Amino acid sequence: MNKQTKILGISGSLRRESYNSAALRAAAGLAPEGAIVETFELDDIPAFNQDEESNPPAKVTELKRRVREADAILFVTPEYNYSVPGVLKNAIDWASRPYGDSAWNGKPAAIMGASVGALGTARAQYHLRQMFVFLNVFAVNQPEVMISNAAQRFDAEGNLTDETTKDYIRQLLRSLVDLTQRMRPDAK
C-alpha cells in the first residue's frame, strides 16, 4: 500500500520575517503528490548542556520524536558568518545525543537556504553537509537550492515570487522523495 512521504521542515531562523522560514512555507506548497511538508519551530530550545542530554528539555524530546516520525528532513538554513546559525546547530546537537540515541541517524535529507547575499548560503550548506557525515544523514546532492539576493525573490508578505526558485524547490523535493523511497521502500 502506498504511504504518504512525510517531510519535516526545519528553518534555522527565528526571525519573524525570515526568508528561510518563508522559503519553508513555500516548500510546503510545492511538494510533489504523495508527499507532505510539516514544520518544526526551533524557538524555546535552550543552549545545549551535556549534563542534561539524558533528561533533555521537553522541546528537545518533541524534536527527537518529530524527527523520528518523519520519513525525511528538509533543512532550510540561513548563513551566519559563513556557517550554520547557532540556533540550528544547537538543535542538531541536542537531537544527536546521548551518544547512540541520535534522532538523525540514517535519515534522508535535503538542504536549501536563503541569504540576502550573492552566494545564497553556499558556505553554510557545505558545513551542514559536513555534519551529516558524522550524523549519518543522507543528503540529496542536487539540485543545490541556494537562494541568493533573497529580498528580490519574496514579496512584502513573505511569499516566494521567483518562479525559477520555485522550480528548484520542486526539483529538490522530488529528489528527496525519490531518495527516501529508494532508502525506505515502505515510504512509497
Ligand X SMILES: Cc1cc2nc3c(=O)[nH]c(=O)nc-3n(C[C@H](O)[C@H](O)[C@H](O)COP(=O)(O)O)c2cc1C
Q: Does 13 bind ligand X (CB under 6 A)?
A: yes
Q: Does 117 bind ligand X (CB under 6 A)?
A: yes
Residue 111 pairs with which residues in a beta bridge?
Answer: 75
Q: Does 81 bind ligand X (CB under 6 A)?
A: yes
Q: Does 78 bind ligand X (CB under 6 A)?
A: yes
Q: Does 102 bind ligand X (CB under 6 A)?
A: no
Name the residue nearer to ligand X (CB basis): 17 or 167: 17
- Give residues 145-174 in contact with ligand X (rule: CB under 6 A): none
Name the residue nearer to ligand X (CB basis): 70 or 87: 87
Name the residue nearer to ligand X (CB basis): 80 or 138: 80
- Report the nearest approach of ligand X to the CB of residue 126 (Å): 12
For binding to ligand X (CB under 6 A), which residues are involved? 13, 15, 18-20, 78-82, 114-117, 119
